[in-house]
Chain A
Amino acid sequence: PSVKIDATQWQKLTQSQNKQTTVITPLGVTMLEIQGDLELPKDFASLAKKDSKHDGRFSEQDGQTIIRFGSLQIDGERATLFVGKKQRLLGQVTKLDLPMGIMHFNSRDNKVELVDVMKYKIIFKDRPLPIM
């Protein structure tokens, strides 16, 4: 078995873009790393029904329910992550030792496509602090 890596789409899309200056790639992709597990509810549907304007946790996007789990603020090399209602994490923007290619292995068509190339990530290694 063998399959070629198709990077044509990515090449086309990145050709006209400016060089990457932040942790978000020109194609709008970010790599977020947390030293721990991100615990989310298992059932979106019933919780979404009970969602209020105040909380605004749930929304519909492309036919699926998604949950807003936090807020991220980047200040140069420093990053702050608020998770849920109670946790605040402090982290950094770091350059990856080696760039990582995100590849999509499409088993339906037996194709591999390069989605993007990540050069930076935002990493949160420290214990979460209370929000206040």
Chain B
Amino acid sequence: MNIFRLAGDMTHLMSVLVLLLKIHTIKSCAGISLKTQELYALVFATRYLDIFTDFISVYNTIMKLIFLGSSFSIVWYMRRHKLVRRSYDKEQDTFRHFFLVLPCLLLALVMNEKFTFKEVMWAFSLYLEAVAILPQLVLLQRTKNIDNLTGQYVFLLGAYRAFYIFNWIYRYFTEPHYVHWITWISGLVQTLLYADFFYYYFNSWKNNVKLHLPA
């Protein structure tokens, strides 16, 4: 465990907890894409198939449980909680899961480290994670008002991506056998998707104005 990996995990954890806390406290999910949240729940469910079979560390197991629990809780709140679901921007959140899930599944069947169920699912989860933010970014573009918490949520997710890239660079130079092309390329694609959002986020922060994305 290096400092970049830890910082990446912590910003990832904070992003999910900020969102869950926001929904739980103000009983609103305005501006949050249910499509993205369902895709993340699917990402964690398919990636952590090894949770009870391969023990890495107590830290890993606990983090996996938190990510699974929090992502499914968010989906539950948005779909089932009678107050929260009323605030969901259903008409604006029109991205189809299918268009992201199917190509990722096909790619995972072709590009994986080993053709086993667990490895194909692991590759699928990486590809899907890379693009799962797209429905959220589309919703941010459409919604005129981006509240601070939604902005912070996407910012923390982007920070997590950036720290993971530093982690891979660090590990590449310190661990001789550490080469994971699939992880790196899908991770890089995912980070690039945030670059545009980051540009506007930093501008609004620098000029001390409310975040507003161009049409």
Is B a genuine binding partner of A?
no
